[in-house]
Structure 1
């Protein structure tokens, strides 16, 4: 947990602010996972702090949703297509 908090602070993922009048807080919860090696031995324990998004209301707690998620296979495919077709990559 300490490692996750330190990562959040180092990456400046979020910052604490005063709650605006008329708004409600959105809680967080810890998700714990045990990562295993191929031989099923414990490799490491992981902790992730996540927001309880199910308590949010569109237009009140947030205005838009954006989550950039791309698998490496997809990125490789796009780069391959760009190289084959001489497309510029930005």
Structure 2
């Protein structure tokens, strides 16, 4: 949790402010996950602070959505294209990412 909070502060992801009149606040929650290695042993514990976006209503609390995910068929297509063209593919584990 400390690493997640340090990352949030370092990236200036958010700041405290007064809630505008008529606006409703959105809560947050901690999501915990245990990562295991190939031997089934605990490799690390991860914690993410996430917004409870399910409490929002489209066109009332927000108007646009940009999900930070990719579809599996897109990933497969890119891997097939890389193989076809002889490109080198690298894997990267992003510790924290934010949409701006």
TM superposition score category, shorter chain reference: 0.7 to 0.9
How much is the aligned-residue C-alpha RMSD, in angstroms? 2.6
CA shift in 2, pair 1:44/1:60, >3 Å: same
- Give 5+ residue unaligned stretches, structure 2: 86-100
Offset at residue 12 of structure 1 (A): 1.9
- Give 5+ residue unaligned stretches, structure 1: 83-90
Question: What is the 5 A alignment of 1:69-88?
Answer: 69-70=69-70
TM-score by structure 1 length? 0.73
The structure number with the bigger radius of gyration is 1
| Secondary structure in 2 matching 1:23 | coil
Offset at residue 50 of structure 1 (A): 0.8
Offset at residue 14 of structure 1 (A): 2.0
Give aligned pairs, total.
Answer: 83
Find the counterpart in structure 2 of residue 4 from structure 1.
Answer: 4
TM-score by structure 2 length? 0.67
Offset at residue 69 of structure 1 (A): 2.9
Find the counterpart in structure 1 of residue 35 from structure 2.
Answer: 35
CA shift in 2, pair 1:39/1:80, >3 Å: closer
Farther-moved stretch of structure 1 (11-20 vs 48-57) = 11-20
Q: 1:79 and 1:17 mapped to 2: Cα distance?
A: 46
